[in-house]
Amino acid sequence: MAIKSAIAIGAHPDDIEFCMAGTLLQLKAAGWVIHYFNVSSGNLGSVKMGSEKTARVRARESRKAAKILGATYYKSISQDLEIMYDVPTLRRVAGVVRKSKASIVLTHSPVDYMEDHTNTCRLAVTGAFTHGMPNFKTTPATQPYGHEVTLYHAMPHSLQGPLREKIIPGSFVDTTDVHPVKMEALKAHASQQDWLDASQGMNSYLKTADDMSRHVGKLSKKFKHAEAWRRHLHYGFSRTEMDPLSEAIGKRHKINVSYERIIKKGI
């Protein structure tokens, strides 16, 4: 029997806050236990501090953000630009998934503008796939669990793939009433203001996140603030097609009918 547990798996500190935290908060409000895991330490995310100090600062900020969200925090296992889809890393990611006993796994888009996001997605997908496989050994050793799992992919940055193609959301989650808490969690990553300004031209990372949230809300044609998702194919994760996110939060989750039409045409 599935339990009410959800995990967000992001590449770097603040990735979860930008595109997944609102959905985590809505699940928490619906009675779910939520978990928070950044694969990388974020050690390269500064133009003022060295790598080791940056990693320490960002770990402290991440713990604070997870506390604000009310989520269980898991320590990062890699460094920036070193997230690789390999067996040792997979064993560690799978171990975190098993500890969370998640029925819902939230992670990055299968393709995004940078490889850390893409590789994190691949690790999260395979880590979830192995959740019930006793012969796949995790690091550290963690007991598998048998209940069904559903994966949801966040939208890539700017709603575009790496070749500038438009990505259409599969569904929208209303984050309007939890938006202040989401922004408070993002604000905990204070060290990122200078870095995102220098590296990506984000004048204020808080304003950028607010603008993104409002833009996705407009795309939903229903919500003021929203996060958008695409649901992973259920084969290997659940016996039948499931949408536990919709079941959990009800009217706060809107299916994009246009996306569903595209899916059906492709079958």
Query: 5-266: which CATH architecture?
Result: 3-Layer(aba) Sandwich (3.40)
Domain range list for the chain: 5-266
Q: Average of pLDDT values for 20-41?
A: 98
Measured CA to CA, the distance from residue 253 to residue 212 in angstroms comes to 18
In the beta sheet, which residues pair with residue 238? none
Residue 219 has pLDDT above 70, yes or no: yes
Answer whether 49's CB lies under 8 Å from 86's CB.
Answer: no
CA 42 to chain centre: 15
Token reading at 251? 């009217």
Query: Any idea which residue has 């595109």 for tokens?
Result: 19
Query: Rounded to 5, what percent of the chain is helix, strand, coil?
Result: 45, 15, 40
**With bands split at pLDDT 50, 70 and 90, how would you rate the model's confidence at 195?**
low
Collapse the DSSP code of 248 into the 3-class scheme (helix H, G, I; strand E, B; otherwise coil) and give the result: helix
**pLDDT > 70 fraction of the chain, expressed in percent and rounded:** 95
Query: Any idea which residue has 């990062």 for tokens?
Result: 76
Global pTM exceeds 0.85: yes
